[in-house]
């Protein structure tokens, strides 16, 4: 049905038929209900009008009793004819008198139709008495003639319209025929061999001709496009082939770099490790003449390691595999740290370091390792190429196009650079000139890597320099760079996630180290490495750090010892002789009784992502830096044996400060905003100590203490109360019944809090140990 109506011919036909039906219905209705009654009424009127004048004549004749005259009048009436049809107007006329006499005259007409009748009474003109009536039958042939005539015209009109519709339909189909031919051609045409559409023999309408031409143009364009596509396809095939070749070459290069780094780092590991050990031995055995030689070996090893690391970094950047690990970094602390590292080098060349930045400059969200490396690179270059001069570091914030940026400007009064040198400055392996390389050393990769790091973080390094007068290098970074991926701890250096607020404190040995040492005193470290030399080096180093260190020289041996010893930390080489380190790691993380052991992966190749995905705690690249190793193992041990402190305070800043202090001292911290939430935290995990603010909404400190007392398991948890209120004697006494210590808020120092926590947690541990001993003694006694 739809198909039928979709054809133009049928659409037009249906439209015309519709119009025709509507018009015919309207005409028929008009005819039946208006015209026919009007004509009929007209004919009846004629009959009435005809009878009226003769009535008076007949009435007079009857009054005079002149019947002959009546008959004469009737004959006269019968003679009247219609001018159109030339037929008698009156069929019959009859005068019926009340006396019973009837005078009638009729025309002999064979009419099929009923006549129109007109009747009128006859009165006596003197007495008004009713004398009779006149009955006249008017010929209806004319009426029917008119009706038939009109109906015939209507039929003719109808037939004419039907013929018109058929003609229109035929004409439209004739006009559209070329389109049908075109459609059939397009359906059957082979597009690969499509040529111009054959022109029909008959002349086409202009619009159809336009369609015809458009289709021919389309074919031409299709042919052109096919040719173009073929060319593009060939080009794409070539590009794909080249890409595959390039990828293959790149893969080969990456594999080569990985192998080379492994092969280079293995001997370097021994060189750096042993030279460092020998240095200590030489100092202890008073052979100062050898110290200088050993330093050269150590330094050369370190430099070579730096070069390998740079090459690997560059390789990763170029392969697009360098990842960002973003965190909020306090800029002032980062600058302090970087300057403290660079200061000895500056002093060596009698350079003065000038700092220009606001201590409250705030934070920046960056990959701290990469920013630190870039800053160190610029500053080390500045102090290296300046002698007896000034190196300035300026840091400031500024808005560019509504975006906040931080600029690190390193300005020196050194040898400076020519324009040509500036142009090639950021090209890999390119230094100012060969003489520079010979005189100042370096690989020429540092600036390239720094620039790529900065670009990776959405920023840039720019340089302005004048030969002989000095250089100005500027690192510009957006304060909030977009997250490239989920932020993960950067374990490149083997460090756990570094809280920037702790920068600057890391290298300061203090009483906290002593405490950490006490905690790790009995910790066991298992090294699984098939390289006996590497094993021995790490064993000797960690033993000096008071760890109980054991070695396993194969994967199988390692698994056996892990099961027997359940060590506190595992140092696991990836490339073992009998199995891969990943297999050992997978095994450890699949065993419920071993899963908690921190595993530090030691590897030549960069497979950090694999390590973390399999559950490694940390990741160190060989050759192992001893400081990194110590730091990593310390952190792992601390993490494994951490004490938990619950800080309950409605002041978020106060909670944060407490967290920083305590975490820096090796504690694990959990927080709660009020007493109610504090109870929930205690229910989740019983803390070693609770730091409790007394004045809080929802549930204050005193209410919290009351709730704590109700639970037997919680009664022994030490609580340190912090309050800003001036407590009276009664309140103090009430608190002292439950809390271990009350510290006046606002007046306490970091050390005061730390000492309190250490003292209270220490007491608790001591008490627990005594309880165990007491139980043991009792059991022996028993």
Partner 1 sequence: MQPVKKLRTLAQCSIKTFMAAIFILVSMMPPGLANEASDRRVQISLPLFPRIVAVDKKFQEKLTEDNKARLVFVYDRDKSKANELAKTVGSTNKNIVNVRVDTVPVPLVEQLRANSQTPTAIFVAEPLGEADFKELVLYSINKGIIVFSPYSGDVERGATVGLAITSRVFPYFNNSTLEASGVEINPILLDMSKRYE
Binding site for partner 1 (CB under 8 A): 44-45, 48-49, 51-52, 98, 118-121, 123, 126-130, 132-133
Helix, strand, coil percentages, rounded to 5, for the chain? 55, 15, 25
Closest CA to 600 of 567, 553, 578: 567
In the complex, minimum distance from the CB of residue 179 to partner 1, in angstroms, rounded to a whole number: 59
- How far is the C-alpha of 619 from the C-alpha of 403, rounded, in Å? 36
Residue placing its CB nearer to partner 1 in the complex, 52 or 295: 52
Q: Are strands 689-693 and 524-528 parallel, antiparallel or unpaired?
A: unpaired
Q: Look at residue 403 and give its three-state secondary structure.
A: strand
Dist. CA 92–CA 108, nearest whole Å: 9
Please tell me what DSSP assigns to residue 713. Answer: G
β-pairing, 90-97 with 102-106? antiparallel
Nearer to partner 1, 46 or 626 (CB): 46
What is the DSSP code (8-state) at residue 530?
S
Q: Which is nearer to partner 1, 128 or 778 (CB)?
A: 128
What is the distance between the alpha carbons of residues 318 and 2, in angstroms, rounded to a whole number? Answer: 63
404 membership: H or E segment, kind and range: strand 403-412
Least distance to partner 1, CB of residue 41, Å:
9
Nearest approach, Cβ of 479 to partner 1 (angstroms)? 59
Question: Taking each helix axis from N to C terminus, what angle separates 581-590 and 555-565, rounded to the nearest 10 degrees?
Answer: 30
Sheet containing 741-744: order of strands = 668-672, 644-648, 689-693, 719-723, 741-744
254 token code pair: 């990456």
Q: Which residue's CB is nearer to partner 1, number 116 or number 298?
A: 116
Least separation, in Å, of the C-beta of 135 and partner 1?
9
Q: Minimum distance from CB of 28 to partner 1 (Å)? A: 28
Which of residues 59 and 643 has its CB atom nearest to partner 1 in the complex? 59
- ∠ Cα 363 364 369 (to 5°): 115
Taking Cα atoms as reference points, which of 378, 386, 375 lies closest to residue 440?
A: 386
Distances (CA, A) of 753 to 71, 659, 692, 727: 152, 11, 12, 19
Taking the least distance from each CB to partner 1, the nearer of 127 and 401 is 127
Shortest distance, position 208 Cβ to partner 1, whole Å: 58
- Encode 490-527: b = buried (16+ Cβ within 10 Å), e = exposed: bbbbbbbebbbbebbeeeeeeeeeeebeebbeebbbbb
Shortest Å, Cβ 52 to partner 1: 6
Least Cβ distance, residue 55 to partner 1 (angstroms): 9
Q: How far is the CB of 57 from partner 1 (least distance, A)?
A: 16
Beta carbon nearer to partner 1, 55 or 315: 55
> Which residues neighbour 353 within 8 Å (Cβ) at sequence distance 6 or greater?
339, 342, 343, 346, 383, 391, 392, 393
Work out how close the CB of 46 gets to partner 1 at its nearest, in angstroms, rounded to a whole number: 8
Instruction: Give whichever of 117 and 479 is closer to partner 1, judged by the CB atom.
Output: 117
Distances (CA, A) of 625 to 298, 505, 622: 12, 20, 8
The smaller minimum CB distance to partner 1, of residues 129 and 485, is found at: 129
Nearer to partner 1, 125 or 437 (CB): 125
Nearest distance in Å: CB 98, partner 1: 7
CB of 127 to partner 1, least distance (A): 5
Cβ atoms within 10 Å, residue 584: 26
Contact by Cβ (8 Å): 512, 665: yes
Q: Output 45 or 752, the one with its CB closest to partner 1.
A: 45
- Minimal distance in Å, beta carbon 148 to partner 1? 24
Shortest Å distance, C-beta 31 to partner 1 = 23
Cβ proximity of 555 and 580 under 8 Å: yes
The closest of 656, 712, 717 to 681, measured between CA atoms, is 717
Q: Are 701 and 723 in contact (CB under 8 A)?
A: yes
Q: How far is the CB of 150 from partner 1 (least distance, A)?
A: 22
Count the neighbouring beta carbons within 10 Å of the beta carbon of residue 184.
Answer: 10
Nearest residue (CB) to partner 1, 73 versus 679:
73
What pairing do the DSSP bridges indicate for beta strands 644-648 and 668-672?
parallel
Is 705:738 a contact under the CB 8 Å cutoff? yes
Q: Among residues 46 and 365, whose Cβ is nearest to partner 1?
A: 46
Q: Look-up: residue for tokens 């309880």?
A: 771
Nearest partner of 761 among 741, 738, 732, 735, judged by Cα: 741
Residue 581 C-alpha from the chain's centroid: 37
What is the nearest approach in angstroms of partner 1 to the Cβ of residue 120? 6
Between 94 and 390, name the residue whose CB sits nearer to partner 1.
94
User: Measured between alpha carbons, how far is 354 from 391 in angstroms, rounded to an integer?
Assistant: 6
Peptide linkage before 623 cis (omega within 30 of 0): yes
Rg (CA), the chain: 57
Q: 250 near 319, Cβ under 8 Å?
A: yes
Residue 98 vs 579, nearer CB to partner 1: 98
> 355 in helix, strand or coil?
strand
Nearer to partner 1, 129 or 710 (CB): 129
Residue 358 is given by DSSP the state: -
Closer to partner 1 by Cβ: residue 48 or 499: 48
If DSSP codes are grouped into helix, strand and coil, which group holds residue 323?
coil
Instruction: Tell the smallest beta-carbon distance from residue 33 to partner 1 (Å).
Output: 20
Residue 678: which of 703, 715, 654, 653 has the closest Cα?
703
Least distance CB 70 / partner 1 (angstroms): 18
For residue 714, give the DSSP letter: G
Tell me whether residue 126 or residue 485 sits nearer to partner 1 (CB atom): 126
């Amino acid at each position: 049905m739809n198909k039928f109506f979709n054809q133009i011919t049928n659409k037009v036909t249906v439209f015309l038929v519709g119009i025709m039906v509507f018009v015919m219905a309207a005409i028929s209705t008009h005819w039946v209900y208006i015209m026919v009654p009007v004509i009929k009424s007209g004919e009846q009127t004629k009959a009435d009008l005809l009878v009226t004048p003769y009535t008076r004549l007949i009435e007079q004749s009857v009054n005079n009793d002149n019947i002959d005259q009546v008959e004469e009048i009737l004959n006269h009436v019968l003679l009247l004819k219609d001018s159109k049809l030339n037929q008698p107007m009156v069929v019959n006329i009859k005068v019926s008198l009340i006396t019973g006499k009837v005078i009638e005259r009729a025309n002999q007409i064979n009419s099929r139709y009923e006549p129109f009748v007109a009747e009128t009474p006859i009165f006596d003109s003197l007495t008004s008495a009713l004398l009779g009536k006149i009955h006249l039958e008017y010929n209806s042939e004319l009426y029917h003639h008119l009706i038939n005539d009109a109906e015939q015209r209507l039929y003719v009109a109808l037939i004419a319209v039907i013929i018109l519709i058929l003609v229109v339909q035929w004409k439209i189909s004739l006009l559209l025929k070329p389109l049908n031919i075109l459609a059939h051609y397009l359906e059957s045409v082979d597009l690969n061999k499509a040529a111009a559409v054959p022109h029909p023999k008959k002349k086409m309408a202009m619009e159809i001709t336009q369609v015809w031409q458009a289709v021919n143009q389309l074919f031409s364009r299709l042919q052109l496009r096919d040719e173009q596509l073929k060319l593009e396809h060939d080009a794409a095939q070539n590009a794909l082939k080249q890409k595959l070749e390039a990828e293959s070459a790149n893969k080969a290069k990456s594999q080569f770099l990985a192998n080379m780094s492994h092969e280079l780092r293995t001997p370097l590991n021994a060189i750096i490790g042993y030279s460092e050990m020998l240095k200590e031995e030489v100092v202890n055995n008073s052979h100062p003449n050898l110290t200088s030689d050993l330093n050269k070996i150590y330094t050369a090893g370190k430099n070579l390691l730096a070069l390998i690391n740079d090459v690997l970094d560059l390789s990763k950047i170029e392969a697009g595999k360098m990842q960002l690990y973003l965190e909020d970094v306090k800029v002032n602390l980062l600058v302090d740290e970087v300057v403290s590292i660079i200061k000895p080098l500056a002093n060596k060349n009698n350079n003065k370091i000038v700092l220009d930045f606001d201590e409250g400059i705030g934070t920046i969200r960056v990959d701290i390792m990469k920013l630190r490396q870039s800053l160190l690179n610029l500053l080390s270059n500045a102090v290296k190429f300046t002698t007896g001069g000034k190196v300035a570091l300026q840091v400031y914030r500024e808005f560019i196009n509504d975006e906040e940026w931080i600029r690190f400007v390193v300005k020196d009064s050194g040898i400076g650079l020519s324009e040509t040198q500036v142009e090639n400055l950021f090209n890999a392996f390119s230094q100012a000139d060969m003489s520079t390389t010979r005189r100042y050393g370096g690989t020429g990769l540092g600036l390239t890597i720094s620039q790529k790091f900065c670009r990776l973080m959405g920023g840039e390094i720019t340089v302005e320099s004048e030969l002989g007068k000095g250089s100005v290098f500027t690192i510009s970074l957006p304060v909030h760079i977009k997250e490239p991926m989920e932020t993960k701890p950067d374990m490149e250096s083997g460090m756990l996630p570094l809280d920037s607020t702790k920068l600057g404190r890391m290298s300061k040995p203090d009483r906290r180290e002593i405490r950490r040492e006490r905690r790790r005193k009995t910790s066991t470290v298992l090294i699984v490495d098939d390289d006996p030399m590497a094993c021995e080096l790490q064993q000797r180093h960690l033993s000096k750090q008071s760890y109980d260190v054991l070695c396993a020289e194969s994967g199988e041996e390692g698994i056996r010892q892990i099961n027997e010893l359940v060590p506190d930390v595992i140092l696991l080489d990836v490339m073992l002789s009998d199995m891969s380190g990943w297999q050992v790691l997978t095994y450890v993380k699949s065993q419920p009784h071993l899963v908690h052991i921190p595993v530090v992966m030691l590897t030549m190749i960069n497979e950090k992502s694999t390590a973390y995905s399999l559950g490694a705690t940390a990741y160190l690249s060989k050759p192992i830096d001893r400081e990194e190793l110590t730091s990593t193992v310390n952190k792992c041990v601390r993490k494994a044996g951490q004490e938990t402190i619950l800080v309950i305070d409605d002041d978020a800043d106060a909670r944060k400060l407490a967290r920083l202090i305590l975490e820096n001292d090796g504690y694990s911290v959990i927080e709660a905003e009020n007493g109610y939430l504090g109870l929930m935290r205690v229910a989740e995990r019983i803390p070693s100590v609770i730091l409790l603010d007394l004045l809080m909404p929802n549930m204050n400190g005193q209410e919290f203490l009351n709730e704590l007392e109700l639970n037997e398991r919680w009664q022994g948890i030490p609580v340190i109360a912090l309050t800003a209120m001036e407590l009276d004697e009664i309140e103090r006494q009430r608190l002292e019944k439950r809390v271990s210590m009350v510290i006046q808020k606002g007046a306490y120092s970091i050390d005061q809090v730390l000492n309190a926590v250490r003292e209270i947690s220490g007491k608790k541990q001591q008490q627990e140990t005594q309880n165990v001993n007491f139980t043991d003694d009792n059991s022996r006694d028993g």
